[in-house]
């Protein structure tokens, strides 16, 4: 990919043509929420205009067409991440998928999940351990905290070094026979670092622990084959990968999903109901009670088709170039501390940074006045920021529709921040 192609791609994204505060919008917040091309917007509208109906419930023509569109979307998204359609559960978002797992595990006992003993392998108790990392988004931390609180299990975490990399020698020490679940992010939403999935999966396999992967920052940006990675579960969200809000996906190995007790119960996830008990459908329907995000699933499928047509290898290469441009440029600006890997080391197309003497929220407001949209705050990763000695940072995150000119405009604006706020260096070199 190059700037000329990216400029053509931008024509597919109506929102990117607008101006903000009188200047062209530079959208560098795709790590939080990406923008959608016209084909995605049209797919959802077309569903409502042509085939809107409840799925898996009616025998009339519209209901059949709606069900076909819904399940075709599941197949498209499943193919995109290298898994079978029956291994993909629709959720409201990735956070909902992680909570589904944590609550299902805490519901597990000898009689849960529709049959004697079917949930026993997921049941946790005192003496068991759940292992996460110090860089996790709150969505992949708090559900496990709550699971441990409910079950008496212990939560532990793999620490990072000063550059943000996981301390693998500590991971080796912490992963023991007591470890029942290892949950970690594929790519950090703050550091931009890619974690060694194969190494961590191998460690977990040695002790029989289940592996849960947060793929929210990798599925939109990298070629992803969850089967090849060997994880047991993974989550990702539509709104971070050109799709709509309100939909995400949980991948789970079929035999595990079928054995897990359901989290939400009600209509559409059962086979037989009496006044005394119920029997549940196999996955994925056993986890899809009630009316589903049907139009959102259709639009999500349109989003992954757009990404596939563009080419995930090409997108990853372009974003890697933009990420290095961000880090190299920020590293050359006085008073800027970039979080995560240094320039020249692999990272995703984002960069979080601290501006000495200027709060991240002030940095964000200054950039917004120049039409540049970034993310400010702790990025739902307070423990990570605390480890790095910060309360907040500013984050610029790119996607397939960003140009090098936009990155350069961002860097030029950042170079003016400290001067605008009157922050200077004193004679001793300390920030004033």
Contacts of residues 324-329 at CB distance under 8 Å and 24 or more positions apart, as own/partner, are 325/404, 325/407, 325/408, 326/350, 326/351, 326/396, 326/398, 326/407, 326/410, 326/411, 327/351, 329/407, 329/408, 329/411
Catalytic residues: 380
Partnered with residue 353 across adjacent β-strands are: 338, 394
Q: Which residue has the tokens 């950039």?
A: 367
For residue 266, give the H/E element and its range: none
Helices (H), ranges, 108-245: 142-151, 168-174, 197-207, 226-229
| pTM across the whole model | 0.95
Locate the domains of the chain by residue range.
3-30+311-420, 41-308
Residue 164: phi, psi to the nearest 5?
Answer: 95, -5
Q: Are 107 and 119 in contact (CB under 8 A)?
A: yes
Q: Are 238 and 248 in contact (CB under 8 A)?
A: yes
Taking domain 41-308, whether its CATH number is 3.40.309.10 is answered by no
Per-residue pLDDT of the chain (432 residues; tens, 9 = 90+): 999 999 999 999 999 999 998 999 999 999 999 999 999 999 999 999 999 999 998 889 999 999 999 999 999 999 999 999 999 999 999 999 999 999 999 998 744 444 433 578 899 999 999 999 999 999 999 999 999 999 999 999 999 999 999 999 999 999 999 999 999 999 999 999 999 999 999 999 999 999 999 999 999 999 999 999 999 999 999 999 999 999 999 999 999 999 999 989 999 999 999 999 999 999 999 999 999 999 999 999 999 999 999 999 999 999 999 999 999 999 999 999 999 999 999 999 999 999 999 999 999 999 999 999 999 999 999 999 999 999 999 999 999 999 999 999 999 999 999 999 998 654 334 443
Q: Are 425 and 334 in contact (CB under 8 A)?
A: yes
Residue 38: phi, psi to the nearest 5?
Answer: -60, -35
Q: Which CATH number fits domain 3-30+311-420: 3.40.640.10, 3.90.1150.10, 3.40.1710.10, 3.40.50.9100?
A: 3.90.1150.10
């Amino acid at each position: 990919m190059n700037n000329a192609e990216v400029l053509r791609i931008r024509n597919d994204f109506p929102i990117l043509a607008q101006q903000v505060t009188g200047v062209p919008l530079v959208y560098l917040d795709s790590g939080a929420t990406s923008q959608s091309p016209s084909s995605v917007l049209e797919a959802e509208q077309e569903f409502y205009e042509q085939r809107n109906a409840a799925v898996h419930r009616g025998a009339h023509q519209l209901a059949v067409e709606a069900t076909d569109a819904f399940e075709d979307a599941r197949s498209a998204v499943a193919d995109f991440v290298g898994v079978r359609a029956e291994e993909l559960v629709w959720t409201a978002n990735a956070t909902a998928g992680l909570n589904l797992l944590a609550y299902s595990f805490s519901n597990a006992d000898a009689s849960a999940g529709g049959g004697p003993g079917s949930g026993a392998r997921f049941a946790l108790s005192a003496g068991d351990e759940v292992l996460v990392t110090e860089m996790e988004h709150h969505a992949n931390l708090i559900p496990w905290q709550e699971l441990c609180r409910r079950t008496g299990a212990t939560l532990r975490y793999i620490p990072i070094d000063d550059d943000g990399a996981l301390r693998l020698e500590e991971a080796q020490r912490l992963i023991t026979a007591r470890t029942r679940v290892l949950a970690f992010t594929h790519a950090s939403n703050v550091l931009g670092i890619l974690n060694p999935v194969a190494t961590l999966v191998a460690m977990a396999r040695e002790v029989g622990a289940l592996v849960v992967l947060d793929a929210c920052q990798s599925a939109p940006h990298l070629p992803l084959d969850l089967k090849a990675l060997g994880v047991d579960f993974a989550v990702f969200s539509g709104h971070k990968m050109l799709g709509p809000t309100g939909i995400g996906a949980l991948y789970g190995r079929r035999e595990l999903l079928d054995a897990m007790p359901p989290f939400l119960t009600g209509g559409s996830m059962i086979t037989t109901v009496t006044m005394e008990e119920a029997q549940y459908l196999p996955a994925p329907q056993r986890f899809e009670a009630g009316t589903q995000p049907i139009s959102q699933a259709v639009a999500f499928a349109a989003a992954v088709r757009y990404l596939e047509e563009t080419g995930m290898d090409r997108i990853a290469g372009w974003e890697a170039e933009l990420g290095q441009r961000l880090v190299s440029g920020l590293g050359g600006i006085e008073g800027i501390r970039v979080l995560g890997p240094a320039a020249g080391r692999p990272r995703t197309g984002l960069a979080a940074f601290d501006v000495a003497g200027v709060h991240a929220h002030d940095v964000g407001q200054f950039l917004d006045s120049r039409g540049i949209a970034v993310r400010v705050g702790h990025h739902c990763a307070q423990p990570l920021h605390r480890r790095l000695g910060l309360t907040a940072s500013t984050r610029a995150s790119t996607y397939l529709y960003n140009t090098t000119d936009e990155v350069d405009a961002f860097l030029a604006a950042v170079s003016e921040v400290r001067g605008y706020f009157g922050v200077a260096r004193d004679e001793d070199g300390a920030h004033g």
